């Protein structure tokens, strides 16, 4: 067919306004482009039944709000009402609850599309009332049209269904009412070359693939020519729920590769390197990891403080022990006292240093042992003389003193 890519349709259907669109006015794989406005919060939900189109803009045709949600209608040739998010997301999860239009050749669709023409599609061809199609494109590569799949769905033109995309740097999942119906792995898209991986906007719209002016292939894909006399044909979108896995104020391409690793995000005034998260669970995992790192750092810091305190205590004890030993040269048990002190100090060090500080603990043990040995050797000559030796010396001195007093 002629228009398998939604972008190709937008280019022609919105010829008058295409020049104003970032995706058509500046391709970041060909030139330096302005940064994209990001969704700076993790989640944004829009209930169109409330009548609000906040954070959305109409880029073609006219849309109205009703009790059923936002209404997109094709009444005559050339109608192609479309809305677009005012922001981009960088990997995320999008739920669109909608009821497709009926009528031969009418296409009800919502897509994710980036500035460099990465694209993820949902397309319901009204001619086939029990199915919906999925598709994707990487960097506008339309050399082949064999990437689409068909999914069976119950009465999509009569019943509201939630059509979702869960998009990460590793894989894309398409879901219907919460059930995964297709998965595309990064490696399966020409080893990632055709894998959608750059910041995207959300577009929702309706158009006539069966318009008589379209290429024969497009009309065939749409199931035949559209008869506008049987219209109008309307699609309703009740709500859109968006989760942005990398919330940011802006996203900027830093080179021409179109690779997700080249995207930089700005949060307020801070430029941040993004490592795109793989899912909402990854977000939780990342927070847990950060908490764990902080905890580890805190533990290490505490361990270091404890180790330093232990070293100070050790040095103080050894010093005190040495002074005591020096002043107790008359004590035959000085060596034993110093040895005991060194032993107690070393045991204290071992108990206050956790396994994470094994290296510091080992160093402290060596230091304590050396201090104890030095203190013991400084009084070793005292312990070599028996106590009776000092007793006899004192007795002789006292005897001489008394003898002198008597003579006096």
Catalytic residue among 113, 123, 238, 314: 123
Round to whole Å and give the CA distance between 61 and 338: 94
| Token code pair at residue 270 | 């801070």
Q: Which residues pair with 240 in a beta bridge?
A: 46, 96
pLDDT at 144: 73
Burial class (CB in 10 A: 0-12, 13-18, 19+), 78: middle
Sign of CA dihedral 21, 23, 27, 28: positive
Round to whole Å and give the CA distance between 404 and 408: 6
Round to whole Å and give the CA distance between 3 and 18: 17
> CA–CA distance from 310 to each of 137, 187, 321, 337 (Å)?
63, 54, 16, 21
Confirm if 233 and 73 have CB atoms less than 8 A apart. yes
Round to whole Å and give the CA distance between 277 and 246: 7
pLDDT at 275: 44
pLDDT at 222: 96
pLDDT at 267: 86
Q: How many CB atoms lie within 10 A of CB 15?
A: 9
pLDDT at 143: 76
The residues near 8 (Cβ < 8 Å, ≥ 6 apart) are 2, 142
Round to whole Å and give the CA distance between 364 and 138: 60
Longest dimension (CA), the chain: 151
Q: How many CB atoms lie within 10 A of CB 1?
A: 14
Phi-psi category of residue 120: left, alpha or beta, with phi > 0 → left and psi -120 to 50 → alpha: beta
Q: 29 phi and psi, to 5 degrees?
A: -90, -5
| Three-point CA angle 113, 116, 120, nearest 5° | 30
Catalytic residue among 84, 113, 119, 157: 119
Which residue from 314, 321, 295 is spatially nearest to 353, judged by alpha carbons? Answer: 314
Query: DSSP string covering 241-252, please?
Result: EEEESS--SEEE
CA dihedral 288, 294, 296, 297 (to 10 degrees): 160
> CA–CA distance from 87 to each of 9, 22, 112, 249, 321 (Å)?
21, 11, 12, 9, 72
Strands 161-167 and 263-267: what pairing? unpaired
Which residue from 70, 141, 140, 144 is spatially nearest to 108, judged by alpha carbons? Answer: 70
119 is catalytic: yes
290 is catalytic: no
pLDDT at 352: 30
Number of residues in the chain: 408
Summarize pLDDT for 307-325 with one digit per residue, the tens: 444 444 444 444 444 444 4
Ranges under pLDDT 70 in the chain:
1-24, 268-408
| Three-point CA angle 22, 185, 116, nearest 5° | 15
pLDDT at 74: 98
Summarize pLDDT for 72-104 with one digit per residue, the tens: 999 999 999 999 999 999 999 999 999 999 999
Residue 361 C-beta-side C-alpha neighbours within 13 Å: 15
């Amino acid at each position: 067919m002629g228009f398998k890519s939604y972008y190709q349709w937008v280019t022609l259907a919105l010829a008058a306004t295409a020049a104003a669109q970032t995706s058509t006015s500046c391709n970041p794989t060909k030139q330096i482009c302005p940064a994209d406005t990001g969704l700076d919060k993790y989640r944004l939900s829009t209930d169109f039944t409330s009548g609000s189109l906040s954070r959305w803009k109409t880029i073609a045709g006219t849309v109205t709000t009703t009790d059923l949600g936002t209404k997109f209608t094709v009444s005559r040739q050339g109608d192609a009402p479309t809305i677009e998010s005012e922001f981009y997301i960088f990997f995320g999860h999008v739920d669109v609850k909608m009821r497709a239009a009926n009528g031969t050749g009418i296409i009800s669709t919502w897509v994710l599309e980036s500035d460099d023409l990465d694209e993820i599609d949902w397309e319901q061809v009204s001619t086939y009332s029990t199915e919906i199609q999925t598709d994707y494109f990487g960097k506008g590569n339309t050399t082949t049209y064999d990437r689409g799949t068909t999914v069976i769905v119950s009465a999509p033109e009569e019943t509201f269904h939630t059509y979702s995309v869960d998009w990460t740097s590793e894989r894309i999942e398409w879901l219907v009412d919460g059930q995964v119906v297709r998965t595309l792995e990064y490696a399966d898209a020409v080893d990632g070359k055709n894998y959608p991986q750059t910041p995207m906007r959300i577009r929702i719209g309706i158009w006539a693939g069966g318009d008589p002016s379209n290429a024969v292939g497009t009309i065939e894909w749409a199931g035949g020519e559209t008869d506008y006399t049987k219209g109008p044909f309307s699609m309703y979108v009740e709500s859109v729920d968006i989760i942005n896995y990398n919330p940011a104020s802006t996203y900027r391409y830093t080179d021409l590769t179109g690779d997700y690793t080249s995207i930089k995000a700005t949060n307020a005034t801070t430029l941040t390197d993004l490592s795109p998260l793989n899912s909402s669970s990854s977000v939780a995992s990342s927070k847990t990891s950060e908490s764990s790192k902080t905890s580890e750092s805190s533990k290490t810091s505490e361990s270091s403080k404890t180790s330093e305190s232990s070293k100070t205590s050790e040095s103080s004890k050894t010093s005190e022990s040495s002074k005591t030993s020096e002043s107790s040269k008359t004590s035959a048990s000085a060596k034993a006292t110093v040895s005991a002190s060194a032993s107690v100090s070393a045991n204290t060090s071992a108990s206050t240093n956790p396994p994470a500080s094994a290296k510091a603990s080992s160093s402290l043990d060596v230091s304590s042992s050396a201090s104890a040995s030095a203190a013991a050797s400084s009084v070793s000559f005292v312990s070599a003389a028996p106590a009776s030796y000092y007793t006899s010396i004192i007795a002789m001195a006292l005897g001489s003193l008394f003898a002198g007093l008597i003579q006096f």
